[in-house]
Each structure stands twice: as C-alpha cells, then as structure tokens.
Amino acid sequence: MPSANKMTTPVSVDLPVLQGRYAELDDYTVGFETFPEDVDPSAYFRGLPDDRCQCPHWGVVQSGQITFRWADHEETYGAGDVYYAPPGHLPLISAGTAVVEFSPSADLGRTMAVVEANLAGAAS
C-alpha cells in the first residue's frame, strides 16, 4: 500500500507564504503544507472556471485555520478539523496553519498549471 511521511517527502514548494511537500499515492496526491504567513491566493486561480479552484480536496488541519469560500457561503476549519472542499472554492489561510491534504492528481495537475502560470506572471 502506498504511503507518505512529511519528514521523508522532499520540499517541492518553498515560498515565503507556503512550504509544500507532495507525494503521489496512486491517483491521489498528498500534500503536507505549512503557511507561515496569512495568505489569500485567490489571484492565482484566475483563468480557471469562475476564477476558483476546481479540484476537490480532503484534509486535516494540524494547526491554525483555513477558510474555504464559495460563491454562496464559506466554511472555516481549525486545528483538529477534517474537511472536504468540493470544486468551486477559494482558500483563505491564516499564519501558522499546517494541513495534510489529499487531492485527485489529475484535477490537481490541471489546477496547478494555471496557478503556476499566474505565479510566474506575478514574479515578472
């Protein structure tokens, strides 16, 4: 059975607002994400349908707080909470938040292609 451990999964994203470690588990990606600063990444989802994340995520908040915003409501989760965020959301993350999140790899790949293009555009 495939597995992943935060300590043995290499860092693949190391930004001031996010440290991310990602491992493939069959058709899913597990992400170990830590956010040292408050972050509203909504600008990075521009270009996706409704300019919102279209990838579903299942996760556990290890510390801090994450809010998912949809067009008609929002939900906030804190340390110890387990969540499911269906497509069509925008995250809002508080400083000090750490999550373990599972996402379908194909959906995540399509979403991250747009996010990475937006990050590259913001850096230039």
- What is the CATH classification number for the domain harbouring 63? 2.60.120.10
Show the domain range for 57.
13-123
Segment 51-74, tens digit of pLDDT? 999 999 999 999 999 999 999 999
Split into its structural domains, the chain has a count of: 1
| 88 belongs to a structural domain | yes
| 4 belongs to a structural domain | no
Integer Cα distance of 42 and 91 in angstroms: 7
| 7 belongs to a structural domain | no
| 31 belongs to a structural domain | yes
Segment 26-44, tens digit of pLDDT? 999 999 999 999 999 999 9
Sign of CA dihedral 109, 110, 111, 116: positive
| 8 belongs to a structural domain | no
Predicted pLDDT of residue 17: 87
Integer Cα distance of 56 and 85 in angstroms: 6
Nearest to 53 by CA among 5, 86, 93, 22: 86
| 38 belongs to a structural domain | yes
Predicted pLDDT of residue 2: 81
Predicted pLDDT of residue 1: 64
pTM: 0.91
Helix (H) or strand (E) holding 41: none
